Structure 1
Amino acid sequence: MLAAERAAAPNTLAAYTADLTCCEESLAAQGETLLQASAAGLAEWMADMGRSGQSRRTVARRLSCIKQFCLFLLREGLREDNPAAHLDAPRPEASLPHFLSESEVVALIDACAVSPEASEAKQRRGLVARAALELLYASGLRISELLSLPREALAGERQMLVVRGKGGRERLVPLSDSAREAAQALLALDAPKASPYLFPGRDPKRPLTRQAFDKILYEVGLQAGLDPARLSPHVLRHSFATHLLAHGADLRALQMLLGHADIATTQIYTHVQTERLKQAVESFHPLASERAGQTEKTG
């Protein structure tokens, strides 16, 4: 159902499989199955996850999966009740997204430059790194969206990029001049490969893998003098969103650019506005200037 009706991505299907397997193993130890699970059995499964030290976010995500599964059984007539209906998920820990400073992003992109005397393989690796980082930071793409981009997406002088995101939803994101130039340089070099992908893997018929890109990002991070542990494709996506908001972007526009179905997901980035609001009050509120003057007189 998830694959056929909701067009769920392979990673989403794998996550649901893992969640269902986790629940199934706990129920089996209690003499129950997924199809005949009781409310008590599911409650014990949640307690098992808590005792094993799983985070509240993981527990909440897995419970969401089981709730959807139980509703599916109910709709399909495979059960007459919903044993997960009254189970409450723990509140997830509040965690802010990790992001790079603007200067760190610039250093990362500059580190993609390769000497003209370098081997052809190293020069191509530099082009791949530059095109990927430019697109990730300029457009806020997910790594899965980036690596699945077809060659045609960057053909010509297009100003907008058509991206297919989660659930098969399409969105338009602007393409910066530098990102387009980097991508077209890679396209020109890879033309003999005749790959359908902008970022072909070792087999040109398949896209570059996430693991291969992680190695490239690791090397570029070291070259830029950044701790590779702080780097990931999602950190660049977070940096894109954080920097846009810091420069005054509208939250609704940011939601559309990121491809979030719910604006509540986008609101996590509003933490960057706190300091801006504080500075605005200190700079323009009349009482703030009076207090500053009184502080100077007291000093």
Structure 2
Amino acid sequence: MKLLFHSDGVAGYVPAGFQFPMLIDSRGFSVVAVNLYILRQLATNAWSSEASARTNAQRFLDIFAYFEDNNISFGEVRVANLTEYRDFKLKHGIDGKPCAQATVNTAVMLFKKYWAWALGEGLIVESAPVSITEYNIRTRGLPAFADLWLPTAEEIKLFLSQMRGPEERIATGLTFCAGLRRAEVTSLPADILLSIDQMDRRRGAIRLELDGYHAPTKGNRRRIVEIPVRLYGDMINYKMSDRRANRIERSTQACTTLLVTKYGRPCNPDWLNDVFSHASALCGLAIHPHLLRHWYATRFLEYETPERFNGSETAAVEALQRLLGHADIKTTLGYVHLAMLEGSEKVRALTNYQRTLDRLLQE
């Protein structure tokens, strides 16, 4: 196949002023399914902004460029080809510079979504023994707990000082004050936020229910999260603010999420990544959203175990599992082990529990 684009026709490159990218095969015929999908993503604003659409289209079509270079026709694409593409990009990348894991994963996920859509529309027929939609991308996983650096309270304060508006401050607060995941932060619906006197308030925190559907969670598991009263007050004020109302008025689409972009659309997890990258660059700290989820788990065990659970480590870990939304206690134990390695005076005192965790992790 050959890749041509609507503007300059340069293979493998999406110019800044493109209208939409086109893919044609070696006979000069348009690969209709691919082009329809890209047009659909642009028309429905599924790729958020023009910059995001340009980046996603380039990563999406980069896979097709790889197929072309390796003489793999579109009808012969198999799961093994995606694995080969992934390994090649991680090792050789572009012009000999290896691609980041997240970049490769994004490209593969875009291709998987396209493939699922094309199958559903009847535009392609899949005959491979293993469906491409079942292909699992490889992730880096969590960093080794012994090597994971956690910011101090002063460093988090410095990090927060780089935020550029209430949306960014609230989103960041929900990661390290309530332990929410990126997608849970950006998809949090506004209508579940009621006045403080109508909410369940315990120990200086508001207990907010995420049902897994209207308020999405990982695995659609219902759970309760605890949000500090001050942060919850900021969320209520933002919900009722003219700033949010004016943003929503700019969009022709209904927006139900609490956090919205300046164009009145729902924020997405990539937006939160950009927020953290910008703030990290300004303050010189390498902080990402999931790192602050670890920070939340560490803080919870440090302060809540002796005071809230009367020193009962088992009760503290079980409560933390529910708050973090982990299906398996072993996942939570990883966060606990991290807390032990951080060497907090209060946590280090739990020596018996630390030995138990070490044995469980080893098993």
TM-score range normalised by the length of the shorter chain: 0.5 to 0.7
Partner of 1:81: 129
| 1:146 has 2:185 as partner | yes
CA contact (8 A) 2:59 2:107 kept: yes
TM-score by length of 2: 0.48
Deviations 1:166-197 (A, max 9, x none): 46555331222122222233334438827554
Q: Distance in 2 between matches of 1:268 and 1:80?
A: 38
Cα deviation for residue 208 of structure 1 reads 5.4
> In the alignment, residue 172 of structure 1 is paired with which amino acid?
I
**CA–CA separation in structure 2 for the residues paired with 1:60 and 1:213:** 15
Would the aligned equivalents of 1:151 and 1:198 in 2 still touch at CA under 8 Å? yes
Structure 1's 66 and 262: CA in aligned 2 closer, same or farther, altered over 3 A? Answer: farther
Q: Structure 1 unaligned segments of length 5 or more: list them.
A: 1-9, 114-121, 286-299
Hey, what's the Cα distance between the residues in 2 that align with 1:156 and 1:89? 42
Q: 1:257 aligns with which of 303, 320, 323?
A: 323
- SS of 2:76's equivalent? coil
Deviation at 1:32, TM superposition (A): 1.6
Name the amino acid aligned to 2:227: L
**Compared with structure 1, are the counterparts of its residues 62 and 278 closer, same or farther at alpha carbon in structure 2 (3 Å cutoff)?**
farther
Query: 1 CA distance for matches of 2:224 and 2:180?
Result: 11
The match for 1:237 among 262, 273, 293 is 293
Say yes or no: does 1:174 pair with 2:233: no
1:146 aligned partner, one-letter code: V
Question: Which one-letter code corresponds to 1:244 in the other structure?
Answer: F
Matches within 5 A, 1:97-108: 97-106=148-157
The 1:170/1:44 distance shift into structure 2, 3 A limit, reads same
Q: Which amino acid aligns with 2:66?
A: S
Residues 280, 256 of structure 1: alpha-carbon distance in 2 compared, 3 angstrom cutoff = closer
Identity of aligned residues (%): 21
In 1, Cα distance between equivalents of 2:104 and 2:277: 31
Find 1:206's aligned residue among 265, 273, 283: 265
SS of the aligned residue for 1:201 comes to: coil
Q: How does 1:180-195 map to 2 (within 5 A)?
A: 180-190=232-242, 193=245
Question: Structure 2: how far apart are the matches of 1:60 and 1:211?
Answer: 17
1:272 aligns with 2:339: yes
* Count, aligned residues: 251
Q: CA deviation at 1:214?
A: 5.2
SS where residue 175 of structure 1 aligns?
A: strand
Q: Is the CA contact 1:112–1:130 (under 8 Å) kept in the aligned structure 2?
A: no
Q: Which runs of 5+ in 2 are unaligned?
A: 1-45, 48-52, 200-205, 249-255, 306-312, 356-363
Other structure's SS at 2:151 match = coil
Q: Which residue of 2 aligns with 1:5?
A: none
RMSD after superposition: 5.4
Q: 1:240, 1:129 → 2: CA distance?
A: 18
Return the alpha-carbon distance in structure 1 between the equivalents of residues 80 and 288 of structure 2: 40
| Residue of structure 1 in register with 2:32 after alignment | none
Classify 1:107/1:215 alpha carbon distance in 2 versus 1 (closer, same or farther; 3 Å): closer
Cα deviation, 1:120-179, whole Å, max 9, x if unaligned, reads: xx9xx4x55554443332212234432333332221222322242346555331222122
Runs of 4+ in 1 over 6 A off after TM superposition: 14-20, 55-70, 87-91
Q: 1:106 to 1:206 in 2, by over 3 A?
A: same
Secondary structure of residue in 2 paired with 1:172:
strand
Q: How far apart are the structure 1 equivalents of 2:112 and 2:275?
A: 37
TM-score by length of 1: 0.55
Alpha-carbon distance, 1:229 to partner: 4.0
Q: Note if contact 1:30-1:41 (Cα within 8 Å) is conserved in structure 2.
A: no
Q: Is the 8 A contact 1:23 1:34 kept in 2?
A: no
